[in-house]
Structure formats: structure tokens, C-alpha cells
Amino acid sequence: MKSVQAIPDKIFTLTELKHQVKRWRLTNKKIVFTNGVFDILHEGHIASLSEAAIYGHILIVGINADTSVKRLKGESRPVNNEGSRTLLMASLVMVDAVILFEEDTP
């Protein structure tokens, strides 16, 4: 079982993630990327993330930042802030890295 102390270590800045991707590539890891808002996590999200993870050794998930979510879904969103959403995503066993992005699409 993985340690819960490692969960925040799965949340990266762009610079940090670029370095980590280089390390993974040096070990011939196949890297898969997906993204979304993931505001209210549900079983459909778990299914799609699990499916994505099958296609590689490493799954990176991009999360829309709060400002991006408001532009895409309206002023009443997100329900859960970007800190909560990234931490929740990082806690999932199939996810290896999480990164926030401000753009509407990464």
C-alpha cells in the first residue's frame, strides 16, 4: 500500500513535471495524459481514468484551474476549489502526477 504522505508529492508545477517526465522517459516509461475539470468526482471519472491508465506506465492528469472552470462552466463553478480537486485526484491509485492549467484546454 502506498503512503498517504506521498499524495501531495504527486502534484507538480509545470517546471517540476517537465523534469519528472524526463526521468520517466530515461527509464522507458510510456506516459499517458488526460485532463478535465473533475469538479464532482464520480464513478464515470474513475472508469475513464482507469481506462486511460491501461495505456501506459504513467498517468498524468491535467486539472482545469478555478479561473478556467468559471470560463467554461459559469460563475457558480467549480463546486470544489482547485486545491481540493488536485489533492483528491492525486489520492487516486491509478494517477501518478497531477498538474493544474489555466487555459481552457491544455
For 55, the 3-state DSSP assignment is coil
Query: How high is the pLDDT of residue 36?
Result: 96
- In the predicted model, what is the mean pLDDT of the chain? 95
Query: How high is the pLDDT of residue 2?
Result: 58
**Which residues of the chain carry a pLDDT beneath 70?**
1-2
Evaluated on CA atoms 99, 53, 8, 80, the torsion sign reads positive
Q: Alpha-carbon distance 53 to 60, whole Å?
A: 9
Residue spans per domain, the chain? 10-101
Query: How high is the pLDDT of residue 6?
Result: 87
Q: In this structure, what DSSP letter does residue 46 have? A: H
The pLDDT tens digits for 40-49 are 999 999 999 9
| Top CATH class, 10-101 | alpha beta
